[in-house]
Amino acid sequence: MRFAFVASDTSVAQQAQRKLVERYGDVPPERAELIVALGGDGFMLRTLHAYRELEVPVYGMKLGRVGFLMNKHKLDSLPERIARAHTASLFPLQMQVVDAAGDVHTALAFNEVSLLRQSNQAAHLEVQLNDIVKLPNLICDGIMVATPAGSTAYNLSAHGPILPLDANVLALTPISPFRPRRWRGAILPHRTEVILRVLDPGKRPVSATADFHEVRDVRTVAIRQSGGQGVRLLFDPEHNLEQRILDEQFAAE
């Protein structure tokens, strides 16, 4: 198998990359049958964005602080581990933003698209689902749309639901909602288009972020699941992503 090894900038990841290349060889990602990402979850997200169009499966090894999307780092028996690995398909969200100047920005998110207030003023947002207004004025610090893979990340810290990987749903989760006070979010069919409109952008500016791509001073944000092919992540049987998401619902801390 032709491997392409990519690593974060940390010394431990760079050292691991050198040893793996010595053991198994290395080709450019464009010629690889498998991309091996060495780092944490943040580096994995950047790897998925960088090589998504190659349609090459990605196998991660944890060499960072957070490794929910990664397998254990081991030098030995990589071909055997790949042969036993389970596949998880991740389908990103597509964000389309119109900013204060009228410019249009697009970006993809494998974890979540989030809106956050830019100032000390709470955000005032209109929430539409498939062109139907569901909340005419949500007063909050922000709101996000999370994928199942991203539901255990920022979404979980904002008290959003954990979503099974194959559930074909998205989480719509407010961040510190003030009004309506009792609204705690919604679980949406994955084909839902979410449109968020900033009601007072001059006094209450809002930014929008898709994974790590940020746009400031937004006016409207449209979010839907991307219609293209998803990316394929490989996991050791003992680190199956679907099972890890399920287990997270029973975690004591």
| CA dist., res. 1 & res. 12, Å (int) | 25
Q: Reduced to 3 states, what is the DSSP secondary structure of residue 146?
A: strand
| CA–CA gap between residue 71 and residue 177 (Å, rounded) | 36
Token pair for residue 59?
């196998």
| Cα–Cα dist 232/101, whole Å | 37
Single out the catalytic residue among 41, 76, 99, 236.
41
- CA proximity to 7, closest of 80, 68, 60: 60
CA 166 to chain CA mean position, Å:
15
Q: Nearest CA to 44 among 231, 213, 226?
A: 231
| The residue to which tokens 């997200």 are assigned | 45
**Amino acid identity, position 179:** R
Instruction: Identify each DSSP E strand in the chain by its residue range.
Output: 3-7, 34-39, 58-62, 86-90, 93-99, 104-109, 112-117, 123-129, 132-140, 142-146, 169-175, 186-189, 194-198, 206-210, 213-215, 218-225, 231-235
Q: In the annotation, is 41 catalytic?
A: yes
| Residues known to be catalytic | 41
